[in-house]
Amino acid sequence: MARTKTQGVEREPSGRISRKADVQQMSYSQIERMKRSIHLCAADPRHGSIVGLLNLSGQISDAQFRAANTIHTLRQAYVAVYGVPALNVKAINLGELRGASCNDPEILRDRALAYTRAMDRIGHGTAANEAITWVVFQDQQPGQWLDALKSGLTTLSKWFDGVK
């Protein structure tokens, strides 16, 4: 039995249905967003992390992304000072990538103290604390933690800006 003829479909000269008909046109803003993400990933490898990808997709702001990088650097200093084991190997690699390594004991102590103060600011056992631990420190997909992550990073961003 022969196929039914489809009306209004673009066809190749051979009579086949054109593949162009299936391709959805991208909007100008999508193309610009893709260009921006390519340039940012090339310029800054931190955008390869989950937090960076959330920033590139527009789910978190640039200020929240900076706060995530800052708290991650402070966490690495806390780990170095107190000998707390890192949460996973990926977190260690991200710490090195973000420039969190430092050999000066005074700077490490100051950063570790800043980390404890920042986490106290968010609150222990809160959803924001759990979200930051899950996404920023362990580099896992946010899932249901996205709103809590945004809230925690906004709080940190405001606090870091006020400290400076």
Q: What are phi and psi of 25, to 5 degrees?
A: -70, 135
pLDDT of res. 164: 47
Of 145, 135, 134, 152, nearest in space to 51 by CA: 135
pLDDT of res. 150: 92
pLDDT of res. 23: 45
Other C-beta atoms lying within 10 Å of the C-beta of residue 140: 15
* CA–CA dist 86, 137 (Å, integer): 9
Per-residue pLDDT tens for 65-103?
999 988 988 888 888 787 766 565 555 555 554 445 566
Which H or E element spans position 152? helix 146-163
CA-CA-CA-CA torsion sign (162, 141, 131, 94): negative
146-163 and 62-82 helices, crossing angle to 10°? 80
* CA–CA dist 85, 96 (Å, integer): 15
DSSP state, residue 86: P
User: pTM here?
Assistant: 0.65
Q: What are phi and psi of 153, to 5 degrees?
A: -70, -35
* CA–CA dist 55, 4 (Å, integer): 47
* CA–CA dist 18, 22 (Å, integer): 8
pLDDT of res. 31: 78
Successive 10-residue mean pLDDT values, the chain, 164 residues: 66 75 64 74 69 84 90 84 65 51 76 88 89 86 89 91 68
CA-CA-CA-CA torsion sign (95, 101, 106, 107): negative
pLDDT of res. 152: 92
> Domain ranges in the chain?
35-158
